[in-house]
Amino acid sequence: MPTAASVGLSRWHVASRVFAATIPAFILANTLSIALGFLVPGIKANGVAWATLLSYAIYTCLIMWIFSVKRLKTVWLSIVGGIVVTSGAAWLFYFLENRP
Amino acid sequence: MIGGFRQNMTWLHTWAGLVFCWILYFMFVTGTLGYLDLEIDRWMEETPPSAGAAPLEQATNSAMNRLNSEAQGAERWMIFPPDGRESPNLGIFWSMPKVEGSDEPIQRGNEQLDSFTGEPIAEPRRDTGGGQVLYRMHYLLHYFPGQSGYRLVGLITILMFVGMITGIVVHKKIFREFFTFRPGKGQRSWLDAHNLFSVSSLPFQLMITYSGLIFTVGLWMPMIGLASYGFDTKMAANLANELIGEVKVERTGTPGPLMNPMELVPAAEAEWGADEVSYFEILNPGDQDSRIVLHREAGILTRLGGRMVFDGATGEHLETMPPTKLPVLTFAIAMLGLHEGTFAGPFLRWLYVLSGILGTAMIATGAVHWTSKRRKKAEEGADSFGFRLVECLNIGTIVGLPVGIAAFFLANRILPVEMETRADWEIHIMFLTWLACLIYPAIRGRQHSWRDLSWLAAAAYAAVPVVNLATSEMHLGNTIANGDWVLAGFDLTCIATAAVFAGVAVYLSKDSRKPKREATIGAAEQIPLGSS
């Protein structure tokens, strides 16, 4: 069975994922939750409350996903892309909701 | 990562679990004791049994008299009639209006009264942090400035949740392993024990971890609410009011009459049924425009009953408010209610304690398994500093923290009653004892430390009822004779804890006389990244 050392998996490789799982994944968990909150029907507070309660579950899933993907490049592209797309969507939803 | 999904998740489980496991252990131990906080309070303060609960009318009149004499001109009064374990006495609270243009903080007061006489309850005989200080450490830690301890706890709880979910994922045969225990097989036994403790209490651990996270949403996830309202802090702050609803009334400044809230109880009972009024809230007492709010008994979990709002001067019924407008809030509050377990009677309370102990054991066995798995390699010289550090932290925390808590109880009885900083020193002594237990294994070595500290823990817990006998009237001889099972229970639990640690110490003494026996590890059970 291969070990970390035998396939040349450096400490930096692991550190990169640990970093991705702490700050960038946390940001993505927030932007994704914000976007999802707009999609929940009912009064505004309802969507915000559901999104907030689910945010930790979303964050946990992201962490697990980061440590299960084979290629580091996939991790970083998805996280950065995810933040851009979800914050864009959240901005769009907010704009649609608050247009005059 | 390399390897299959389960192997990667095993790696994540190992490291998410290990990094902060000693603080997590501390959170579990103090949180478990938190379910007995009021009982520990009584023992440490030497509070005699409560005088009992006066009828609602008598208690309310006592409270009104006291508030009228102590808190004239207040913006809000609250009256909490005696109600079981959580509040055996009559509680009152008041807050004064904010002085315009002044930076002075709002003046607040609260008192515990004898519900029959209305006299304030006597100060505790001993100045002590009591069970409350242990309970607060569970989520604030100690010696941490501001909210940094709370923040750290939130972070560790996320790691705990990651550990829980990955732990479930890596178990292919969750039910078969539940019935598997192979004692005396070294590393294999530690893993079996870890599985047994985790799986048997899994629903509790999931509930306690996720609800623990919900406590910290305001601290760690405020951006979701803030951003949804376009970063308008005012709007986001209104979120809570939008969810629960607020009784608003403007102060006129003209004095006016105030009804006795008891006169409104029949109207509320007509709608809710008998004995459904939980507590009273009075806004602008003595002002022309005042409100009396009757709060309904909360459901077992939800902690929010409905409310009925009356005009304080005329008694006119103005509004009936439901407990909450949204199911999402019921869910959140039910989770918080489950976490705190304030609704639990004696039987359920002990079940909470048992579940807490299982969680504590889950963390302890997981941490020991980490070392037992790596011992062979470490003794060959690879990465031995990290290994020794984990081992010292394991021994010094798993046994050392309970020793520290026993020292906390002993300090409560031994420190002079007139000492000014005794409440602080109780806690310092607890942490100093724990620190000593952390250093001890580094000097004495693993084999002896487990056994020595277990003997120390047994001796310390056995000493608690003995020292209590020497320093207090409320010792087992009196408490059992008077049928005061809360105080007797404290001493008896210490004796039982001492017996458990003595049993462990005896077992370890036998074990160390035998030649060392470590089961060899099958190649299939080795986890690739775990040993990196």
User: Which residue of A lies nearest to B229 if distances are taken between CA atoms?
Assistant: A94
Q: For B395, how many CA atoms within 13 A lie in the half-sphere containing its CB?
A: 28
Give me the amino acid identity at A52.
T
Q: For residue A33, how many other CB atoms are within 10 A of its CB?
A: 28
* Average pLDDT over every residue of B13-28: 95
- Could you tell me which residues are beta bridge partners of residue B419? none
What the block records as the tokens of B36 is 């007995």
Kindly tell me if the per-residue pLDDT of B304 is higher than 90: no
pLDDT in tens, B332-351: 988 999 999 988 989 999 99
CB atoms within 10 A of CB B80: 22
Two tokens at B50?
A: 């409560």
Q: Running DSSP on this structure, what letter comes out for residue B289?
A: S
What is the rounded CA–CA span in Å between residue B91 and residue B488?
26
Helix (H, G, I), strand (E, B) or coil at B292: strand
Q: What is the pLDDT of residue B529?
A: 39
- Residue (of B253, B257, B222, B261) closest to B239 by Cα position: B222
Q: What is the pLDDT of residue B516?
A: 45
Give the one of A2, A50, A69 whose C-beta lies nearest to B528's C-beta: A2
* A3 near B CB under 8 A: yes
What order of strands is seen across the sheet that includes strand B307-311?
Answer: B108-113, B90-95, B76-80, B277-283, B291-296, B307-311, B317-321
Q: What interhelical angle do B485-513 and B400-414 show, nearest 10?
A: 140
Partner B contacted by A44 (CB < 8 A): yes
Q: Collect all residues with Cβ–Cβ distance below 8 Å to A63 and sequence separation of at least 6.
A: A21, A25, B12, B162
Structure tokens at B283: 């806004």
For CA atoms B166, B172, B175, B179, the dihedral sign is negative
**pLDDT for the residue numbered B525:** 39
B223: which chain A residues are within 8 Å (Cβ-Cβ)?
Answer: 30, 34
How confident is residue B122, by pLDDT bands cut at 50, 70 and 90? confident
What is the rounded CA–CA span in Å between residue B331 and residue A50?
Answer: 10
φ and ψ at residue B421, rounded to 5 degrees? -100, 30
pLDDT at A6 over 60: no
For residue B383, what pLDDT band results from cuts at 50, 70 and 90?
low
Tokens 């009584």 belong to residue: B42
Q: Which of B5, B161, B328 sits opposite A53 (nearest CB)?
A: B328
Closest CA to B17 of B161, B140, B137: B161
pLDDT, average across residues B155-177: 87
3-state class of B107 per DSSP? coil
* pLDDT above 60 (res B507): yes
Q: Which two tokens stand for residue B441?
A: 């294994």
Contact A37, A47 (CB under 8 A): yes
When pLDDT is averaged across residues B225-230 and rounded to a whole number, the result is 88
Q: How many CB atoms lie within 10 A of CB B176?
A: 9
Q: What is the pLDDT of residues B22-35, one digit of tens each?
A: 999 999 999 999 99
CA distance B476 to A31: 58
Selecting from A3, A51, A70 the residue whose C-beta is nearest the C-beta of B532 gives A3
What pLDDT sits at residue B1? 61
For residue B184, what pLDDT is reported?
75
Closest CA to B43 of B468, B459, B429: B468
- Secondary structure (DSSP) of B190-252: HHHHHHHHHHHTHHHHHHHHHHHHHHTHHHH-HHHHHHHTTT-HHHHHTHHHHHH--------
Average pLDDT over residues B321-334: 84
| Window A:4-43, CB contacts with B under 8 Å | 4-5, 7, 9, 14, 17, 30, 33-34, 37-38, 42-43
* The pLDDT value given to residue B374: 87
Tokens of B394: 């394991």
Query: Do A3 and B162 make contact, defined as CB atoms within 8 angstroms?
Result: no
Which two tokens mark B379?
């003794």
Give Dmax over CA atoms of chain B in angstroms.
87
pLDDT tier, B382 (very low <50, low <70, confident <90, very high otherwise): low
How many angstroms separate the CA of residue A5 from the nearest CA in chain B?
Answer: 7
Q: Are strands B317-321 and B291-296 parallel, antiparallel or unpaired?
A: unpaired
Q: Considering only A17-31, B9-23, B187-201, which range has the smallest mean pLDDT?
A: B187-201
Q: Count CB atoms within 10 A of the CB of residue A31.
A: 22
Which pair of structure tokens corresponds to residue B254? 């003209």
**Mean pLDDT taken over chain B:** 89
The token pair at B479 is 């408490």
Query: B329 vs A49: CB contact, 8 Å cut-off?
Result: yes
Residue with token string 């913006």 = B75
pLDDT at B203: 94
- B230-266, pLDDT tens digit by residue? 888 887 777 777 777 788 888 888 999 999 999 999 9
Range with the poorest average pLDDT among B97-106, B155-164, B375-384: B375-384
* Residue in chain A nearest B161 by alpha carbon: A60
Residue A45, pLDDT score: 87
**pLDDT grade, residue B530 (50/70/90)?**
very low
**Contact B72/B286 with Cβ under 8 angstroms?**
yes
Q: Note whether B80 and B67 are within 8 A (CB).
A: no
Long-range contacts of B522-529 (CB under 8 A, 24+ apart): B523/A1, B526/A1, B527/B7, B527/B10, B527/B11, B527/B14, B528/A1, B528/A2, B528/A3, B528/A4, B528/B2, B528/B3, B528/B7, B528/B11, B529/A3, B529/A4, B529/A9, B529/B1, B529/B2, B529/B3, B529/B7, B529/B8, B529/B11
Chains A & B: contacts with CB separation below 8 Å:
112
- Name the DSSP letter for residue B126: S
Lowest mean pLDDT among B81-85, B414-418, B426-430, B438-442: B81-85
A13-22, A78-87, B291-300 — which one is most confidently predicted on average? A78-87
From CA B341, how far away is CA B531, in angstroms rounded?
Answer: 40
Give dist(CA B454, CA B69) in Å, integer: 55
Give residue B531's pLDDT: 35
Tell me, letter by letter, the H, E, C secondary structure of B396-428: HHHCHHHHHHHHHHHHHHHCCCCCCCHHHHHHH
Note the helical H segments in B20-121: 21-34, 37-45, 56-70
DSSP symbol at B104: P
Share of chain B above pLDDT 90, in %: 64
Residues of B with CB under 8 A from a CB of A: 1-3, 5, 8-9, 11-12, 158, 161-162, 165-166, 169, 210, 213-214, 217, 221, 223-225, 227-230, 239, 242-243, 326, 328-329, 331-332, 523, 526, 528-529, 531-532
C-alpha to C-alpha distance for A33 and A59, rounded to whole angstroms: 9
Q: How far apart are CA B335 and CA A53, in angstroms?
A: 11
- B169: nearest CA partner in chain A: A64
Chain A residues within an 8 Å CB radius of B169 = 64
pLDDT score recorded for residue A1: 39
From the list A52, A60, A90, which residue is nearest B161 (CB)?
A60
Using DSSP, state whether B466 is helix, strand or coil: helix
Structure confidence at residue A2 as a pLDDT band (50, 70, 90): very low
**pLDDT of B196 higher than 80:** yes
Spatial neighbors of A5 by CB under 8 A, at least 6 apart, are B532
